[in-house]
C-alpha cells in the first residue's frame, strides 16, 4: 500500500496562493500573542511598585485583645442582718470570756469567731432587758453596719455591729467581723407638717359618724357595717376589746368636713385622736380614715394608707375594697 508523505506548507514565495494565505494568518496570530505577552509583562512590572506603595500606606492591623475572666464578685445578700446583730449583742452583753464552755458562748463564737468577749467583775451578773436594731446600712463588698439599742434597767446603750455576708446571696448567712463599737444614739427627727389642718367641730355630722364607728369597732358598741361604704368589709380587731372609747379630736384635710354632709361623692381624709380604755390603762390611739358622702350621710371608705408619712396610725383592720375591675384590693393598717 503506497504511503503518501504529508504535504508541508511552502514558505517560499511563488508557491500556491492557498498556502501563502494560510501562512500569513498564522504569522498575524503569533505576532498578536507576542504583543499581548509584552503588555502583560509590562503591566506586572508596573503593578509591583504600586502594590508596594499601597501596602506601605495601609494601616497596620490593631492588636488582638483577649478577654480575661472577670474577677468573682463579692457576695451581696438580699437579707437584712438586723436580727442577726440583735442576737449577737444580746449574747455578747451576757457573755464571759472566762466561761468558754457555756452554750451561749459557743453560739456566740459561731457567729463571731474572732471577737473578744467582756470580763464581768466578780459577782456582777450582766443582763439586758431588750435589744432592738434601730439602723442598718449596706456597705460595699457585702459588708453591713447595724446599730443596735440595748436596754438594761433604765439605761439605753447603742452599739454598731460590723457584719459581712457569707455563702450564697440568698442564704441570709452573716459573720460578725469585729467586736461592737459603742456609738451615739440616733438623733431625733423633725415631724412633717400635718395635712389635717381643719378642725372638725364636735357634734358635726362627720365627727359623730367617725366617733360612733370607732366605738363600734373598738368597744363593740353597735355594728360597724352600718357605717361602711358599699363594698367595704372590715375584719374585727383581734384580742380583747376596750371598755369604752373617748374621741378627743377630729381633724380633716378639707374644710368641707366642718359643715353638713357634702354633695354626693365627696371624699375627705380624716384623722381621729382618741383614748381607748380597758382594765389596764387609758391608751391614746390615732386613726386615719377616708370618708365619702353618699345619700346625705358620711360613710367610712377605708383606712388612709397614704397618711403614714403625715401622722401616726394605730393598729387598724384589713379592708377589702372593690376596684374598678371588680376585684378585691386589700389595704391593711398597721402600728407605726
Residues 282, 221, single domain; the answer is yes
Query: pLDDT (tens digit, 9 = 90+) per residue, 51-108?
Result: 444 444 555 555 555 555 454 454 455 578 999 999 999 999 988 888 877 888 889 9
The domain containing residue 207 runs over which residues? Answer: 198-332
Residues 211, 280, single domain; the answer is yes
Query: pLDDT (tens digit, 9 = 90+) per residue, 110-146?
Result: 999 989 998 888 877 778 899 999 999 999 888 999 9
Residues 316, 206, single domain; the answer is yes
Residues 169, 273, single domain; the answer is no
Mean pLDDT of the chain: 77
Q: How far apart are CA 18 and CA 34, in angstroms?
A: 25
Residues 211, 297, single domain; the answer is yes
Residues 168, 214, single domain; the answer is no
Domain C-terminal end among 145, 160, 183 = 183
pLDDT of 315 over the 50 cut: no
Residues 150, 217, single domain; the answer is no
Exposure b/e, 158-177, CB count within 10 A at least 16 = b: bbbbbbbbeeeeeebbbbbe
Sequence-distant (6+) residues with CB within 8 A of 114 are 177, 178
Residues 179, 280, single domain; the answer is no
- Range list of β-strands (E), 143-213: 143-152, 155-166, 173-176, 181-183, 198-199
Residues 155, 258, single domain; the answer is no
- Specify the number of domains making up the chain: 2
C-alpha cell, 86: 440583735
Query: pLDDT (tens digit, 9 = 90+) per residue, 29-58?
Result: 767 776 766 766 566 556 565 544 444 455
pLDDT of 301 over the 50 cut: yes
Q: What is the mean pLDDT of residues 173-196?
A: 89
Q: Is residue 5 part of a domain?
A: no
The CATH number assigned to the domain holding 207 equals: 3.10.450.540
Q: Is residue 96 part of a domain?
A: yes
Q: How far apart are CA 327 and CA 150, in angstroms?
A: 46
Residues 253, 301, single domain; the answer is yes
Q: Model confidence at 306, in pLDDT bands (50, 70, 90)?
A: very low
Using a cut of 0.75, tell me whether the model's pTM lies above it: no
Amino acid at each position: 500500500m503506497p504511503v503518501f508523505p504529508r504535504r508541508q506548507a511552502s514558505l517560499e514565495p511563488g508557491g500556491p496562493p492557498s498556502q501563502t494565505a494560510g501562512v500569513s494568518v498564522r504569522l498575524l496570530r503569533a505576532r498578536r500573542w507576542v504583543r499581548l505577552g509584552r503588555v502583560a509583562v509590562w503591566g506586572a512590572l508596573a503593578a509591583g511598585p504600586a502594590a508596594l506603595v499601597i501596602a506601605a500606606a495601609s494601616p497596620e492591623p490593631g492588636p488582638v485583645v483577649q478577654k480575661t475572666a472577670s474577677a468573682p464578685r463579692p457576695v451581696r445578700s438580699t437579707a437584712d442582718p438586723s436580727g442577726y446583730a440583735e442576737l449577737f449583742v444580746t449574747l455578747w452583753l451576757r457573755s464571759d470570756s472566762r466561761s468558754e464552755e457555756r452554750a451561749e458562748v459557743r453560739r456566740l463564737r459561731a457567729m463571731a469567731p474572732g471577737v473578744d468577749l467582756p470580763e464581768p467583775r466578780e459577782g456582777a451578773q450582766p443582763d439586758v432587758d431588750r435589744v432592738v436594731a434601730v439602723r442598718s446600712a449596706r456597705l460595699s463588698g457585702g459588708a453591713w453596719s447595724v446599730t443596735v439599742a440595748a436596754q438594761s434597767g433604765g439605761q439605753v446603750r447603742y452599739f454598731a455591729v460590723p457584719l459581712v455576708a457569707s455563702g450564697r446571696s440568698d442564704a441570709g448567712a452573716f459573720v460578725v467581723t469585729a467586736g461592737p463599737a459603742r456609738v451615739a444614739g440616733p438623733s431625733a427627727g423633725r415631724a412633717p407638717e400635718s395635712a389635717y389642718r381643719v378642725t372638725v367641730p364636735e357634734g358635726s355630722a362627720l365627727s359623730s359618724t367617725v366617733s360612733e364607728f370607732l366605738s363600734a369597732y373598738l368597744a363593740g358598741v353597735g355594728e360597724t357595717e352600718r357605717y361602711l361604704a358599699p363594698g367595704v368589709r372590715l375584719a374585727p380587731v383581734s384580742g380583747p376589746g376596750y371598755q369604752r372609747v373617748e374621741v378627743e379630736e377630729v381633724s380633716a384635710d378639707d374644710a368641707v368636713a366642718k359643715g353638713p354632709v357634702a354633695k354626693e361623692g365627696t371624699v375627705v381624709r380624716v384623722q381621729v385622736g382618741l383614748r381607748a380604755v380597758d382594765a389596764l390603762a387609758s391608751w391614746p390611739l390615732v386613726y386615719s380614715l377616708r370618708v365619702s358622702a353618699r345619700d346625705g350621710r358620711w360613710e367610712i371608705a377605708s383606712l388612709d394608707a397614704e397618711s403614714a408619712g403625715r401622722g401616726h396610725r394605730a393598729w387598724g383592720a384589713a379592708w377589702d375594697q372593690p376596684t374598678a375591675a371588680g376585684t378585691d384590693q386589700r389595704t391593711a393598717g398597721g402600728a407605726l
